[in-house]
Amino acid sequence: MTIRRALSGIAAAFFGLLPSARASASPGDPPIFSAVFDQAFVPGFSLETRDTFQGETRIERVPFRIVEAGALKLPSGQVCATDPFIALAEAKPFTQAVPAGTFPVRLAVGDFPSGGIRVAFARVDFSEARVVRWAMAVVEGQDIATLKADEIFGYGVDAGTGSFFDPVASKAAAELLKADEDAWETWQTDGETNGAKVIGPYSFLLDLPLGDANAIMFHSGWGDGFYASWFGFDADGRVAALVTDFTTIDWATAKW
């Protein structure tokens, strides 16, 4: 059995809800720091973190930079987000429809003095309109009204990687892995090589063609975890962006 198959077998455990440390007005509402979903993608953004290390308070300045991850092809007008090494071939799309077309994917990358280079947010922009409202992304069968305080819907990561892709790419990946169950090994090698060049040491970044679509994959923050995604809407109620938050920052103590 390949590692990919072993991970795929537990994929169902990585979609659903988990308790979250984020602060929000009520279950399902965007976090109180949601303004950073935009600000982290403005050149020159930085913030100050504060934690305790070896019994002493540690304060660090974390500068951010923007990495162009690729052009995401969405022929069906649907989009998925998941750990591609777990569920690329099985993931459900979000229920929110998006425009069909090709859209830029950007990463907001923080350079942590004590923690290295980390992808804090991954974002797809569907338009240039300003986002005025954020809403939690869900898949079929998920109901925000059922969430308890500090719970989120999202996807689990067990291979240190997140992604965006169209269901068309998911079907193509399933066929590819059926023909070659070890194809993921090439993805891993190529992504690690490209990530080190484009983002920095020990990073991962891959734009993988799959049929008439593609999957854009990237390192997920500190690695494994459970992460929510958020759709941004403009003043006319049209979907303008999609962001995955990899929870790299303790927003209760950060200054920005």
Per-residue pLDDT of 216-233, as tens digits, reads 999 999 999 999 999 999
Alpha helices in the chain (DSSP H): 3-8, 36-39, 84-87, 167-179, 183-198
pLDDT of res. 16: 59
Q: What one-character-per-residue DSSP string does 48-83 give? A: EEEEEETTEEEEEEEEEEEEEEEEEEETTS--EES-
- Predicted structure pTM score: 0.91
Residue 13 has pLDDT above 60, yes or no: no
Q: Rounded distance, CA 200 to CA 193, Å? A: 10
Q: Which two tokens mark 109?
A: 């990358």
If you average pLDDT over residues 23-33, what whole number do you get? 80
If you average pLDDT over residues 204-220, what whole number do you get? 98
pLDDT of res. 39: 98
Residue 14 has pLDDT above 50, yes or no: no
Residue type, 201: P
Confidence of residue 53 (pLDDT cuts 50, 70, 90): confident
Higher-confidence residue of 183 and 10: namely 183
Confidence of residue 18 (pLDDT cuts 50, 70, 90): low
If you average pLDDT over residues 76-85, what whole number do you get? 98
Q: Which residues contact 64 (CB under 8 A, 6 or more apart)?
A: 40, 45, 46, 47, 108, 109, 110, 111, 120
Of 18, 94, 44, residue with least CA distance to 247: 18
For the chain, give the percent of residues with pLDDT over 70. 90
- Contact at 8 Å (CB) between 221 and 247? yes
The DSSP symbol for 200 reads: -
Radius of gyration of the chain (CA): 18
State the Cα torsion 201-40-214-94 to the nearest 10°: 130
- Backbone torsions φ then ψ of 125, nearest 5 degrees: -105, 120
Per-residue pLDDT of 87-102, as tens digits, reads 999 999 999 999 999 9
- Backbone torsions φ then ψ of 20, nearest 5 degrees: -130, 145
